[in-house]
Chain A
């Protein structure tokens, strides 16, 4: 899957959350989306997911415009929002079965068991999602997208709720996902973690894309751009 974003902009009333964003991503890229609060990261992710309509500009997946996208196009996009997008009064197994069936994927017990085992949730399979901690819900989301294998996976601040083992699970999954030729875009404030995994970094600042480069070592241009908007740095 190739992602092309052209002159993308989003306005909320008179406030421009995102302006003139151009982007081209190739299969297998892992993008770290960085920027301070209110920079437009979530707005960009929601537009890429097709959940928010751009004010101007266009998004294309393999040449197909997203706003005119068919269900087949939507099947290629995943949004991992930690602890979200799960039904609280369905069990762990029922949530997985529901979403895999919705995506027309194999939802047999064996496949579900293996997916839950992978994220250490097999022993909670029959429990309602409402009874899980935020970290466990995030693990369940990882299991869900692991089964659905979207061509473009978007992540919005996934690290906040995960423990060390959860972080390892997530990073292993993301690296495997990219290795299959899928694109991953991860918005995060955990800059060092995001930089360790990424093949490209984007920095958004006040709705504008101020930095867009493939990873280098050393990466002086990134250090400079990063220092410009966060003078005290972040880890």
Chain B
């Protein structure tokens, strides 16, 4: 309970700072929308082809916008050496991991809530009834991205070219999440339900649970590196 209380306090602080600064959310939002327009103007496929490509294109947009968010994740802590203040405090460092993961998750979900419907509009897709299932899969994939991203963001925190290093370290490790999410989304787009993609969905869930637990347990060591 103490862990959750501390995480809640840290999350409140991050949300308050984001509401006042708005730099992460606005950057991610505009970048996500910009990517959709680039996709839209770059090729003009048939609706069937777009439906096939939608999961990969959407995840390409989420990966890039998410990485932008991760690069800013510890920005408030880098200013005025506030990370030192947090490391000095008697908090369970797992709570710092939970707070940062939840914060990034909230930002990404807000972006996704705009980007997915916009994709449907831009590419003139009519299968609006699929969106709730697609959101569910995207949410599971986003949790995996945020969990692993927060760990990697903390590991690269003191690196010199961290903005360049972060995607290089993160993307290879994200392959299981991306693969599982895209397979699930493809199935939903193709047949309207999870069907054959259930093993991928289970993989996604397992990944989220394992890395969330691992993050809470190892974050003390991660931020000490």
Contact = CB atoms under 8 A, between A and B. Distances in A.
B88 A51 contact: yes
A113 interface: no
Contact of A90 (B9, B13, B224): B13
Interface string B14-32: 0011001100000000000
Contacts of B17: 87, 89-90
Contacts of B16: 89-90, 94
Contacts, number: 68
B160 interface: no
Given A53-B224, A81-B81, A87 B88 contact: no
A74 interface: yes
Number of contact residues on B: which range applies?
A: 20 to 34
Contact of B20 (A50, A75, A89, A98): A89
A88 B75 CA distance: 12
Where chain B touches its partner, the secondary structure class is helix
Given A90-B16, A101-B9, A85 B84 contact: yes
Contacts of A104: 90
A135 B35 CA distance: 46
A223 interface: no
Interface string B77-111: 00111101111111110000000000000000000
A77 B88 contact: yes
Contact of B80 (A51, A75, A86, A98): A86
Contacts of A49: 84, 88
Interface of B: 6, 9, 13, 16-17, 20-21, 76, 79-82, 84-92, 224
17 contacts: A49-B84, A49-B88, A51-B88, A71-B92, A75-B89, A75-B90, A81-B81, A85-B82, A85-B85, A87-B79, A87-B80, A88-B79, A89-B16, A89-B20, A90-B16, A90-B17, A94-B16
Given A75-B90, A87-B76, A102-B9, 14 more contacts: A49-B84, A49-B88, A53-B224, A78-B88, A79-B88, A85-B82, A85-B84, A87-B82, A89-B21, A89-B76, A90-B13, A94-B16, A99-B85, A102-B6
